[in-house]
Amino acid sequence: MTESSQDENIEVLTYSEIENIEGFIGNFDVTIRKKARSVDMSKCTGCGECVQKCPTKVPSEFDMGLGKRKAIYTPFAQAVPNVPVIDRDHCLKFQKDKCGVCQKVCPADAVDYTQQDELIQRKVGAIIVATGFSLFDWSVYEEYGGGRYKDVITGLHLERMLDTSGPTEGKVIRPSDGREAKQIVFVQCVGSRDEAKGVPYCSRICCMYTAKQTILLKDHVPDSQSYVFYIDIRAAGKNYEEFVKKAQRESGTVYIRGRVSKIYDRGDKLIVQGSDTLAGERVEIEADLVVLATAVVPNPDAVKLAQMLNMPYDQYGFYTEAHPKLQPVESVTAGVFLTGSCQFPKDIPDSVAMTGAASVRACAVFSQDELTIEPKIAWVDPEKCSGCFNCMEACPFDAIISEEYKGKMVAKVRESVCHGCGNCASTCRTKSVTVKGFSDEQIYAQIEAPFFEEEVEVA
Amino acid sequence: MEIGYFPGCSLHSTAQEFDLSVKAVCNLLDIHLQEIPDWNCCGASAAHETSEELGFALPYLDLVKAETASMETVLSPCPSCFSHLSETHEKVVSDNALGARLTEISGGKSYQGGISNQHVLDFFMNEVGLDTIREKVKKPLEGLKVACYYGCLTRLPGVNMDSIEHPMMMDRIIEALGAEVVDWTHKTECCGASLSITRTEIALRLGREILEAAQHAQADCIAVVCPLCQSNLDARQSGINRKYGTNFSFPVVYMTQLMGIAMGVPGSQLGFDKHIVAPSILNRY
Amino acid sequence: MPEILNRGDIHAFRDLILTLSGQDASRCIQCGKCSSGCPIAYEMEHLPSQILRFIQLNMQEKALSSNTIWLCAVCETCTVRCPESIDIAGIMDALRKVCRERGVKPGDKKIAKFNEIFLDSIKSNGRVYELGLVMKYNMATAQPFKDAALGPVMFSKGKLKISPDKVQDTGVVKNVFEKSRTFITSKKD
């Protein structure tokens, strides 16, 4: 990130959101909302004085609420750019018109309470969507306490605790009483592979990060013992199977094949009620801490972005690639590419590989003066077009525009946007739209060809 | 207000205190219970697991009898009776072929689908309402810690009320009586049902787990709305103590008994003498 | 003898159970959540998930002779937590009926006997006669002194009646018993 932010050909816009996207491949017009940071980026030196002096503490989102941040803050130490932002919902200045300490202490006079959101325009030739994922809200699992037990956490919480520069400085503690956890139970597939309460698919990343966490746990707390309740171990990647074996053999992680049915507390322990289907026995474990591997799900606003980009998405809200085997990083919309877990759950190696591929595909757009497109696209005969524009409504790709022809307004297909789906042709009442290569006459000729030996003339 | 009443077999024998207390509370609330004339057993799970048609036919007869007596609502205190009546009603109104078949085997008696089935929990929570209950309380159950035990009620077919894993309806009603409800871990665990007779050791194990959880939560008594839950926890308690060397002495009372006592009905009219573990902790109210 | 799985139609039992209960055991992904939460699993010969596996593999004998299908108390914990929404308790119910229909020796004789006597009681009285039921059951299972201490206590509390509570019209109940068929065969999900 730091390198990118310093590259003269890269503009990094953080704390910003896409407001609107118009245009097509090679000619996208993007409206971006730069949210009011309340700190002037051109003046701020990143000294951190304001953060240190800010009196307001808020649970840190980055640390999953395990630690605190200030009302003026950078989300984490390595954040790029190293310029803080004011959380206006918690800042005393914005809420009660009090305090103002950050402005007073800033040596660069960078704090600006009057800053407003700013809408900026950028013209781009290609778009790579890498918006990532969210985690499944597991509170629907009432049988796991539905959130009532503080010591039932998610893998992301544990990830923060295992970070030596994180909120617990690498200590693995029970959020309820701050004691170090010794008996830790991992529960796989919470939300994943559950058609009744969650999603049917496998989230792909949990088996491996859980194995990693059990290994780290053993390093951090040598007298700890980890148990993993799993349904199937999915370790299909280079050295993945070996890695899981390492967790079992070197870190002593015990894998138990069965889905957990219930978690409840007894005294200061959590009772994890499970079974081992390999032994054919029901089992219970007394745990200090329970870590749930919650499902990977699309971002809540994933569909909104898909609609801005005229880009299809699946029943869950993951973006759909143009072809699952041959065009895995292209979206159906020309010039829009996909990478990371906005498309489906991916681990780091897959994300990195696909990001490389998507970048190269985007560069390919710029490497040529002319764009080669599929010949199978629609064409409007302006002589016949009555200008009803029903085709415009029918087009799922926003490919049809209106233009003047001989004093009347007619439909026109933007060739670089059209996919040749034929919706316009079947909607047109005057038969003025044809998909090139698929005119009615051509199709009739194809049908007739097997039945008549004589050559059929194509109109 | 007049409504139909389906006591079921248990309320006429092992669960008489449930019957007495439902009637006493309804009486105070000006609700007149009209028993389904000549009702028969719902068949419980034994009928269902032996013959699918019989499992529906027995409750069907009761629905017909209730409808013939011009009833609109039928109140069933026993969860099993309620589930069987309710499920049969749902199946018959959505499956004409089943309705026709049940009409045939019950000697031409036809059910038109006019009965609304209610369990006591649902009835007191949603028909009577917490405000009315609060108004009627004369002796708030202050200082009484109650563990509300639902057993399998929320999971049974045809029940569809309250959260399945973490129900709160009984808790809300008992809170309205001025008592304190405890948050505990075993409110929906299984009591063993009829295994209590056939495989007593299993019911003792399950009963022990439930009582232990209530003890952890520091409850004074356990409230139930099911005859089987009551007898498995009350009548088997000494057996549990004998087998596991425990020292449980939990009164297991019906929710309606607690309602009755809070509303000023003397314990003698609520069947307090019928408990094996005497609910003497309630004498102070 | 090794069990040769493909001697018959491997889906035969799955199909039968689907027809009888409307539940498709082949949807089961063997996650084991039913077994994890089953309160009776400790006493069962096979876990509930294993019974579903037997159905998937057409191991009819194994499933039908297991005590698991009789010990199931139909508490429905498995059913409400199944990630595939399979009504596992409903499958157990169907298996008990297939067991009776085929005359397979029940995996738990006492429970099967109790249910028979329970139904006999309803058949003759229209209602359950609890004292008679327990006495009959104790005699039939040759354990006359079972709960000998509890009986008199219950009796003295007036919880057990000496004579049965009867419906007036026992004929209609008897009729229903005689005409009812084991399965409603028209159903299919």
Question: What does the pLDDT look like over A332-372, one tens digit per residue?
Answer: 999 999 999 999 999 999 999 999 999 999 999 999 888 88
Q: How does pLDDT run across B5-19, given as a tens digit for each residue?
A: 999 999 999 999 999
pLDDT at B205 over 80: yes
CB-based contact C180 B51, cutoff 8 Å: yes
C-beta neighbour count of A110 within 10 angstroms: 22
Report the Cα A170 to chain-centroid distance in Å.
27
B12 neighbourhood in chain C, CB within 8 Å: 127, 161, 165
- The whole-angstrom separation of Cα B33 and Cα B10 is 17
pTM greater than 0.90 (yes/no): yes
A146 → closest Cβ in B166, B185, B186? B166
Q: Which of B222, B243, B219 is nearest to B231 (CA)?
A: B222
CB-hemisphere CA count at 13 Å for A339? 19
Q: What are the phi and psi torsion angles at A341 (to 5°)?
A: -85, 5
Find out whether B62 and B106 touch, Cβ atoms under 8 Å: no
CB-based contact B185 A264, cutoff 8 Å: yes
Burial code of B33-44, b = ≥16 C-beta within 10 A, e = fewer? beebebbbbbbb
CB-based contact A189 C31, cutoff 8 Å: yes
Predicted pLDDT at A450: 85
Mutate to test the interface with A, among B163, B165, B183, B218 (most CBs of A within 10 A): B165
Please tell me if residue B185 touches chain A, with a CB cutoff of 8 Å: yes
B51 → closest Cβ in C146, C159, C181? C181
Say what the ipTM of the complex is: 0.94
Predicted pLDDT at C188: 43
B41 → closest Cβ in C97, C128, C134? C128
A267 neighbourhood in chain B, CB within 8 Å: 216
Coil vs helix vs strand at A286? strand
Find out whether C158 and B16 touch, Cβ atoms under 8 Å: yes
Q: Which of B41, B225, B50 is nearest to B124 (CA)?
A: B225
Question: Strands B145-148 and B221-224: what pairing?
Answer: parallel
C77 neighbourhood in chain B, CB within 8 Å: 152, 155, 190
Burial of A283 (0-12, 13-18, 19+ CB in 10 A): middle
Q: How does pLDDT run across B49-71, given as a tens digit for each residue?
A: 899 999 999 999 999 999 999 99
Mean pLDDT of chain A: 95
Coil vs helix vs strand at B51? coil
**Which residue is closest to B15 within chain C, CA to CA?**
C159
**Those residues with Cβ within 8 angstroms of residue B244's Cβ, 6 or more apart along the chain or in another chain:** B204, B208
Bin A111: left if φ > 0, else alpha if -120 < ψ < 50, else beta: beta
C165 confidence band (pLDDT: 50, 70, 90): confident
Please tell me if residue C139 touches chain B, with a CB cutoff of 8 Å: no
Average pLDDT over residues B73-92: 97
CB-based contact B164 A142, cutoff 8 Å: yes
Mutate to test the interface with C, among B109, B166, B191, B199 (most CBs of C within 10 A): B199
Chains touching B, CB cut-off 8 Å, 3+ pairs: A, C
Mutate to test the interface with A, among C23, C28, C29, C31 (most CBs of A within 10 A): C31
**Those residues with Cβ within 8 angstroms of residue A403's Cβ, 6 or more apart along the chain or in another chain:** A409, A410, A412
Please tell me if residue B216 touches chain A, with a CB cutoff of 8 Å: yes
CB-based contact B194 C153, cutoff 8 Å: no
**For chain A, which residues lie within 8 Å of any Cβ of chain C, measuring from their own Cβ?**
143, 189, 193-198, 231, 257-262, 273-277, 280-282
Domains, chain C, in order of start with CATH, read 5-102 (1.10.1060), 109-177 (no CATH)
Predicted pLDDT at A440: 85
CA angle B59, B60, B65 (to 5 degrees): 95
pLDDT at C189 over 50: no
Q: How does pLDDT run across B117-174, given as a tens digit for each residue?
A: 999 999 999 999 999 999 999 999 999 999 999 999 999 999 999 999 999 999 999 9
Find out whether C89 and C72 touch, Cβ atoms under 8 Å: yes
CB-based contact B185 A266, cutoff 8 Å: yes
C40 neighbourhood in chain B, CB within 8 Å: 190, 192, 195, 202
pLDDT at A407 over 70: yes
- The whole-angstrom separation of Cα A271 and Cα A285 is 6
**Those residues with Cβ within 8 angstroms of residue A394's Cβ, 6 or more apart along the chain or in another chain:** A423, A424, A426, A427
Q: How does pLDDT run across A190-234, given as a tens digit for each residue?
A: 999 999 999 999 999 999 999 999 999 999 999 999 999 999 999
From the CA of B235, how many Å to the nearest CA of chain A?
Answer: 26
Q: Which of C25, C4, C10, C36 is nearest to C95 (CA)?
A: C25
**Those residues with Cβ within 8 angstroms of residue A158's Cβ, 6 or more apart along the chain or in another chain:** A172, A213, A289, A291
B97 neighbourhood in chain C, CB within 8 Å: 186
From the CA of B261, how many Å to the nearest CA of chain C?
Answer: 20
Angle between helices B96-105 and B79-94 (to 10 degrees): 120
The DSSP 8-state label assigned to residue A98 in this structure reads: -
From the CA of C136, how many Å to the nearest CA of chain A?
Answer: 35
CA distances from A33 to A61, A276, A300, B225 (A): 22, 52, 19, 58
Average pLDDT over residues C11-24: 95
Average pLDDT over residues B99-117: 94
C51 neighbourhood in chain A, CB within 8 Å: none
CB-based contact C37 A262, cutoff 8 Å: yes
From the CA of A423, how many Å to the nearest CA of chain C?
Answer: 37
CB-based contact C181 B98, cutoff 8 Å: no
CB-based contact C172 B155, cutoff 8 Å: no
Helix, strand and coil in chain A, % to nearest 5: 25, 25, 50
Please tell me if residue C41 touches chain A, with a CB cutoff of 8 Å: yes
First to last CA, chain A: 58
Find out whether A405 and A390 touch, Cβ atoms under 8 Å: no
Find out whether A110 and A39 touch, Cβ atoms under 8 Å: yes
B43 neighbourhood in chain C, CB within 8 Å: 119, 122
Q: Which residue has the tokens 């870590």?
A: A291
B165 → closest Cβ in A142, A265, A266? A142
CA gyration radius, chain A = 28
Chains touching A, CB cut-off 8 Å, 3+ pairs: B, C
A280 → closest Cβ in C33, C37, C46? C46
Find out whether A348 and A237 touch, Cβ atoms under 8 Å: no
Predicted pLDDT at B160: 92
CB-based contact B216 A142, cutoff 8 Å: no
More confident residue, C2 or A417: A417
Domains, chain B, in order of start with CATH, read 2-120 (1.20.1050.140), 130-284 (3.40.50.11810)
CB-based contact C77 B190, cutoff 8 Å: yes
CB-based contact B195 C181, cutoff 8 Å: no
Tell me the residues of chain C between 7 and 36 that have a Cβ less than 8 Å away from chain B. none
Predicted pLDDT at A457: 63
CB-based contact A277 C35, cutoff 8 Å: yes
Chains touching C, CB cut-off 8 Å, 3+ pairs: A, B
From the CA of A173, how many Å to the nearest CA of chain C?
Answer: 27
The DSSP 8-state label assigned to residue A221 in this structure reads: S
Please tell me if residue A143 touches chain B, with a CB cutoff of 8 Å: yes
- The whole-angstrom separation of Cα C136 and Cα B8 is 21
C167 confidence band (pLDDT: 50, 70, 90): very high
C-beta neighbour count of B162 within 10 angstroms: 20
Find out whether B236 and C147 touch, Cβ atoms under 8 Å: no
pLDDT at C187 over 60: no
Domains, chain A, in order of start with CATH, read 36-116 (3.30.70), 133-297 (3.50.50.60), 299-366 (no CATH), 378-448 (3.30.70.20)
B213 neighbourhood in chain A, CB within 8 Å: 266
pLDDT at A456 over 80: no
- The whole-angstrom separation of Cα A239 and Cα A234 is 12
CA gyration radius, chain C = 19
A1 confidence band (pLDDT: 50, 70, 90): confident
Q: Which residue has the tokens 């007073």?
A: A104
Find out whether A127 and A120 touch, Cβ atoms under 8 Å: no
Predicted pLDDT at B152: 96
Please tell me if residue B160 touches chain A, with a CB cutoff of 8 Å: no
